[in-house]
């Protein structure tokens, strides 16, 4: 079981800092390695009898190295009128957020931090263990007639997974997107999800992410990557309120569909992982499946952003640059009864325009993805980055890839496969820094219960796993 943080003394007489009001508190890392403390609170300060209200009065005090200061209101509680969504209007509803979201930048080198008596995990200068997971929510989607039994801890094991993973004491958590899946109401005759919250408001975010992930939010800071379930017509409103690392703004809130062409894209950024390693975070929330024409507005957005990625990947002193986005680019999507589909054609079309069939710019050694609900670790005989898919964090699993793969099947033109290791069971991945003088990381795939399935050793852009082909749990 994960060790729970010990309560810290809270300031006396501060109503906003009463621990019972704090629904969740955590630390997220943004660009330039800025650590940001976030808190979701059900407290709203009473309006003063006279004079203007302090917008931050509803926020708790953040105590850093013994000094307390008021957190800043990121976005106030409120209900957003119904907007166009991925579902029919009859299967949608306004998004209710009866909570205030508060934040504060944490100073580099801070030794301790707490909110309302809850100790916050702080970044480590040289993280040794990084937990990787994706696609963690519970699927309720009328269009697919998909109603996952959210109340069944085996059918939707995210809470158990989070508890197990927290027990590994990670220094950092990397979530590669798709936090939210409960889009439509569960029919009354389906017992496994009956009564579940649904839609895009706070109650659903709490059920899909903040409650089950509590042990991991308390254990380590997070890097949060956006998935397609967080695009504007889906859970984008909650993404910007709760998880996005940049300042909140109405024009990028996903509240108004007229702003979607801006709000569905955010600029990439890099987070350094101590010496010689970095993660580049890339937003593909709105990417489609088909190749893009060069005249397409989305093509132009991604092309410009990938040019920024090239500059980041060229940073001196890095032996391992990890590119992470939600949709697999040089990996497979299993298809029941047919050959696997290749990687994302839209991203491939833009990357080919920039880098030919190398796809990635020079300097990227590893690519991490979610979206496909299985585990894949791919080493290439061609000069392409080692690619790992870790999308088996809780949502309905995909069928297993065929074993062996059909002859001639490739994730993208110009690639040559060496070996693939894969499985289709729920679980998570742990990155462990290789002991000096070796450089790079070990990538270990685990089941929900913490059973080690395979270990892959990364050296540059090569990945050598101790098992090959399908791995049975």
Residue pLDDT, tens place only, 135-171? 999 999 999 999 999 999 999 999 999 999 999 999 9
* Bridge pairing between strands 22-29 and 35-41: antiparallel
- Tell me the pTM: 0.96
- At residue 8, the pLDDT reads 45
Confidence class for position 52, pLDDT limits 50, 70, 90: confident
Are 281 and 370 a contacting pair, CB within 8 Å?
Answer: no
pLDDT of 9 reads 46
For the residues 60-64, what does the mean pLDDT come to? 98
Is pLDDT of 4 > 70?
no
Confidence of residue 343 (pLDDT cuts 50, 70, 90): very high
Which residues are CB-contacts of 50 (< 8 A; sequence separation ≥ 6)? none
Q: What is the mean pLDDT of residues 380-406?
A: 98
The residue written with tokens 């810290």 in the block is 8
Q: Rounded CA gap, 194 and 211, in Å?
A: 18
Structure tokens belonging to residue 86: 């991925």
* pLDDT at residue 179 tops 80: yes
Comparing CA positions, the residue from 248, 244, 275, 232 lying closest to residue 128 is 275
- Average pLDDT of the residues in 87-104: 98
Residue 402 in contact with residue 451, Cβ under 8 Å?
no
Mean pLDDT of 201-223: 98
Asked if omega into 404 is within 30° of 0 (cis), the reply is: yes
Domain ranges of the chain: 121-470
Q: How confident is the model at residue 53 (pLDDT cuts 50, 70, 90)?
A: confident
Q: Which residues contact 227 (CB under 8 A, 6 or more apart)?
A: 134, 135, 176, 177, 178, 179, 285, 326, 370, 371
172-191 mean pLDDT? 98
State the CATH class of domain 121-470: alpha beta
* Percent with pLDDT over 90 in the chain: 96
With a CB cutoff of 8 Å and minimum separation 6, the contacts of 159 are 153, 211, 212
- The pLDDT of 171-184, averaged and rounded, is 98
At 431-466, the pLDDT tens digits run 999 999 999 999 999 999 999 999 999 999 999 999
Q: Which residues share a beta bridge with 119?
A: 114
Q: In degrees to the nearest 10, what's the CA dihedral of 431, 433, 434, 439?
A: 110
CA–CA gap between residue 192 and residue 7 (Å, rounded): 35
Q: 11 or 78, which is more confident?
A: 78
Residue 5: pLDDT over 70: no
Pairing of strands 222-224, 172-175: parallel
Confidence of residue 49 (pLDDT cuts 50, 70, 90): confident
Q: What is the mean pLDDT of residues 126-137?
A: 98
What pLDDT digit, counting tens, does each position of 223-278 carry? 999 999 999 999 999 999 999 999 999 999 999 999 999 999 999 999 999 999 99
State residue 12's pLDDT score. Answer: 53
Tell me the sheet residues that pair with 419: 379
Peptide bond connecting 437 to the previous residue in cis, omega within 30 degrees of 0: yes
Please report how many Cα atoms fall inside a 13 Å half-sphere around the Cα of residue 34, on the Cβ side.
Answer: 14
3-state SS, residue 422: strand
Is the pLDDT assigned to residue 2 strictly greater than 50? no
Q: Which helix (H) or strand (E) is 423 found in, with range?
A: strand 417-423
- How much is the pLDDT for 131? 98
What sign does the CA torsion over 230, 232, 238, 243 have?
positive
User: What's the mean pLDDT in 131-135?
Assistant: 98
Please, what is the average pLDDT of the chain? 96
Which residues, listed in sequence order, are joined to residue 115 by a DSSP beta bridge?
A: 62, 118
Given pLDDT bands bounded at 50, 70 and 90, which one contains residue 413?
very high
DSSP annotation string for 77-122 = -EEEPP---SS-GGG---EEE-SEEEEEEPPTT---EEETTEEPP-
């Amino acid at each position: 079981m994960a060790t729970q943080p010990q309560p810290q003394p809270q300031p006396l007489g501060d109503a906003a800092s009463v621990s019972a009001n704090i629904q969740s508190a955590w630390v997220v890392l943004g660009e330039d390695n800025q650590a940001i403390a976030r808190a979701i609170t059900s407290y709203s300060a009473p309006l003063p009898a006279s004079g203007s209200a302090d917008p931050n009065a509803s926020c708790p005090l953040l105590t850093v190295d013994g000094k307390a200061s008021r957190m800043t209101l990121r976005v106030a509680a409120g209900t957003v009128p119904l907007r166009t969504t991925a579902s029919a209007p009859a299967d949608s509803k306004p998004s209710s957020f009866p909570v205030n979201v508060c934040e504060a930048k944490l100073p580099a080198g801070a030794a301790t931090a707490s909110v309302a008596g809850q100790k916050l995990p702080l970044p480590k200068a040289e993280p040794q263990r990084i937990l990787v997971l994706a696609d963690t929510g519970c699927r309720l989607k009328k269009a697919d007639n998909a109603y996952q039994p959210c109340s069944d801890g085996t059918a939707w094991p995210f809470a158990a997974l989070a508890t197990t993973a927290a027990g590994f004491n990670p220094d950092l958590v990397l979530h590669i997107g798709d936090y939210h899946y409960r889009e439509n109401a569960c029919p009354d005759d389906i017992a496994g999800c009956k009564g579940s919250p649904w839609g895009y408001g706070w109650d659903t975010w709490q059920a899909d992410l903040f409650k089950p992930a509590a042990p991991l939010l308390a254990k380590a800071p997070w890097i949060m990557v956006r998935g397609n379930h967080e695009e504007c017509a889906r859970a984008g409103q909650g993404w910007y309120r709760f998880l996005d690392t940049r300042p909140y703004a109405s024009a990028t809130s996903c509240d108004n569909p007229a702003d979607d062409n801006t709000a569905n894209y955010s600029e990439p950024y890099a987070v350094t992982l101590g010496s010689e390693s970095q993660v580049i975070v890339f937003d593909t929330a709105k990417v489609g499946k088909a190749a893009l024409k060069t005249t397409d507005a989305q093509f132009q957005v991604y092309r410009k952003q990938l040019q920024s990625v090239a500059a980041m990947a060229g940073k001196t002193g890095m032996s391992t640059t990890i590119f992470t986005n939600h949709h697999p680019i040089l990996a497979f999507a299993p298809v029941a009864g047919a050959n696997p589909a290749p990687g994302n054609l839209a991203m491939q079309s833009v990357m080919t325009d920039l880098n030919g069939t190398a796809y990635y710019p020079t300097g990227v050694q590893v690519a991490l993805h979610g979206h496909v609900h299985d585990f894949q670790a791919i080493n290439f005989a061609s000069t392409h980055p080692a690619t790992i898919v870790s999308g088996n964090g809780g949502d309905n699993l995909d069928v297993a890839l065929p074993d062996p793969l059909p002859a001639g099947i490739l994730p993208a033109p110009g690639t040559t496969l060496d070996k693939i290791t894969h499985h289709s069971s729920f679980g998570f991945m742990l990155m462990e820094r290789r002991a000096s003088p070796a450089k790079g990381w070990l990538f270990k795939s685990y089941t929900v219960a913490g059973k080690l399935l395979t270990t892959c050793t990364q050296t540059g852009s090569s990945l050598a796993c101790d098992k090959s082909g399908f791995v049975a749990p």
